[in-house]
Amino acid sequence: MIGEIVLVILLGVTAVRLYKNAYKKPANFPPGPPSLPVYGAYWLVLAKAYNNLAAACIKFSNEYKSKVIGMILGTIPVVVVNDPYLLKEVLNREEFDGRMDIILGRLRSYWKKLGIFFTDGYFWHVQRRFTLRYMRDYGFGRRDESLESTVAHEVKEMIDMATNGPKYPAENDLVKGDQIYLPHFFAVPFMNGLMHVFTRACVPRQDYHILWTTARGALRFQRSSNDFGAALSFTPWLKDFLPEFSGYKGLKEGNQCILDLFTKIIKEALDTHDSSFNRHFLDVYISKMKEEMAEKKRTTYSVDQLALVCTDYMFPTASALQSVLSLLIERLLLHPEVQDKIHEEIDRVIGRDRLPTIDDRSNMPYTEACLREIMRIETLVPLGVPHRAMVDTKLDGYNIPEGSMVSLNYVTLHMNKEIWGDPENFRPERFIVNGRLQLSQDKSLPFGAGRRLCAGETYARQALFQVFAAFMQAFQVSTIDGKPYKQLAPRIQGIITTIPNFWIRVTPRK
């Protein structure tokens, strides 16, 4: 009898503690779901929309009638901004420029805090400024004939592969008769363009399998976690006991593909480095690193950091850009009339005797509008890369404690009816006024904004146009069985939004 009483008391005390912890939050913190043991509110977020955290956060925003929701994930205060105007405010306030020090960032950088994506403060400022300053000299972030020529060469190889069939064994995985395998078919032009910036050289066609292996690894990394990365961030021991289930194995092995690539390339650059002459960006970085080391300065430059700089720029290049084009091709299958309009514009502006160039962008508003529309309607990184509040501050009247994770729900901007009218419809014409592309009509932010703006925006937009326009100039796309495409494929919501890999039929245009 006494034992039963003690048990009831213990259960009662535990229930009270759980209840108090469930609603324990910082003072004047934004409203949001209560916390449960271990992962806090993460359980409830998953319950709302397991495979779409952005949608779950919108549901909570509506439920609590607040543009900003607050919750505890594990032990970390997390704020999710679900309003397009507050979102832009956060992007332009320096106190929100921090990055979270989470396992997702550490596991990809030798368990150190390195690179550009997941660093902040003085280290991030120095490294980002230096890389953008000197990568620009080799064509990154500006118009550059040498870089454009490199991408054009890789596009020709891509078209030849699809038109005339595989030339090397690895190509058989991506081309079978008149069919191509997406998204990896598109990877090489984007990746070799960036390789040109880093090394002034490209991976030759007989070695494309190196780039495809890297692209597969990058996409595997992107699909192995979600926007919050909560399972590993708050229970890191899962990596040792449940490496597959927790996503750790996919993250680690996917990331290692890119690190292996650049470890070899950087070693070659170090072995052949001549301080009297810089051949490419890697030489510029190595020269700066050796200079600071010789002066025995407290430096932010190192071989490991250079590997992570290259990795940070290559990750979206190897995974996001090929995914954007695959999402766009899927829309063309669903809306064949859009494909017809693209072909009409290409034939009228360029013809068939030359490849599209960057100069053609301004004269091809519909093709460019299709690229902008797919990046609006398919928010590639729905909650963005998480920010961190670097000081105690306020947002929309609420207290945001220092160290809080701040996630920006870009879906609330890209699917806002007040801004777009019919956001659920794929309608490239929304960006065109009187036959011309009107950038003022594009309120989307697929690359973010403010000081954390994606450094690769210019390169990405130029390369996407160059690759897509050339591909559509060469081919008509259709389903492999020739039947109408009825509905969109289910989305894979990892760190970025993707769809399952798929085959399409390409018919050379005559």
What tokens does 32 get?
Answer: 């949001």
Helix ranges, 107-247 (H): 121-135, 145-164, 187-199, 208-223, 230-234, 238-241
- Per the omega criterion (within 30 degrees of 0), is the bond before 423 cis? no
Rg of the chain taking only CA atoms, in angstroms? 24
Nearest to 491 by CA among 383, 379, 386: 379
Residue 454 among known ligand-binding residues: yes
What are phi and psi for residue 503, nearest 5 degrees? -100, 145
What are phi and psi for residue 217, nearest 5 degrees? -65, -45
What tokens does 432 get?
Answer: 């065109």
What tokens does 487 get?
Answer: 């509905």
Contacts of residue 325, defined as CB under 8 A and 6 or more positions apart, other chains included, come to 182, 183, 186, 464, 467, 468, 471
Q: What is the DSSP string of 70-91?
A: EEEETTEEEEEE--HHHHHHHH
> In whole angstroms, how far apart are CA 383 and each of 46, 101, 189, 270?
15, 17, 28, 38
> CB–CB of 473/401 below 8 Å?
no
What tokens does 185 get?
Answer: 């078919």
What tokens does 427 get?
Answer: 């309608």
3-class secondary-structure state, position 36: strand
> CB–CB of 238/231 below 8 Å?
yes
> CB–CB of 299/292 below 8 Å?
yes
User: Residue ranges for the binding site for heme?
Assistant: 454
User: Residue ranges for the binding site?
Assistant: 454
